[in-house]
A and B are shown apart, each in its own frame.
Chain A
């Protein structure tokens, strides 16, 4: 169609030069009609593309509310946020100390523990349970799992080790475990997303 339109336009263009007046008007109306068809075709793309975007029921489930009161220091739970695992860990004072002891400059993705937690809740470490390498679920959230060389999380797929602040310390992963957007609505309730 577009090709045809172009050739018609080209043909009539040459005629415009030879004959005046009337051809110019015909040229205009044809170009207008073809443009209108093009605009219509483009408008049809809008619903065709947006139908593949998340539907209303998926968007409605894009926040997760958590009650963190039952998590003891040293314990972690696995929750689900947007159909992906979410690690919620209450750090022990030793773990906090270990995390704070690491010189920032040595880190691949420099961040302090304080930057990765909320003020007043420095012991609640909430991260996605998705390895930043290729998306596997790291071990270490459940009791008895391998926590890796740095006592945080360990991804068994390609051997990424995360420390107690879930920062990447060793292995192929490029960045720390992602901290999602969240806020404490009460002292014990967290809304993620």
Chain B
């Protein structure tokens, strides 16, 4: 790795941290700007004012906003012991840590548990769903787009384009409920909802949400891949490759598809980043215990620390996905690598 690359990486890292910090800060203040009282939401609509006031004090919400923000920042990322017992060590009871680097998002107002611990429970579900759905979207979408492009203007092309149009037009809440109704309720071949227990059961529970997100995403990738490939297959370098006598599969997969993937990878990165932040509607339909469902509940309950936590997850996911996309560009296109 040369100095220039290192400098680029460091600049990129600083930019990413800046974005995450800005998003987190904006969320903190926006959350406070909404005209509602989190202490009231914790206590319940019928709690007496004296009890609400005490809870407000316990949550630190009676302090000036600047003080609240200073406390939030001082705790957010800090140094601490590499190993500790959260139950016994009050100062780090709400921390998650990577060695001596601690992340502390505080305690959920509603669940009264550390936000980091809640996110650690939810993130694996969201990550598995996001990866599975993206993989399905890309394989199905790029595959069918490729077939449609190669069989341009045939009935296969028409069927593929038509199906993709329906897929894009059908929102996930229609597609999800329809799949749930047919495959789980009527046919009984898949569970209706939940996340299951044990590897096989969990895999069965993963199928419906993956299909919902995957089909929706695949429809988009189909149209995109088809459009890119139709254009590329008419380019001079493809004609040259064919004239050189390269096998057709090599022309298509190595020369055409590789070039078509450059814009597609951008979208994959953004999609994956978005899904890692939580597939809000799909998680709701299938009671999938991911970050998306957590975010919705937190916003409804005005659970500030959890809202910030879920936004942070989303921001980090988008930033990380963008970074991965940039590196993928370099792999796919040597011109970018050289620049």
A, B bound: no
Residues of B within 8 A of A (CB): none
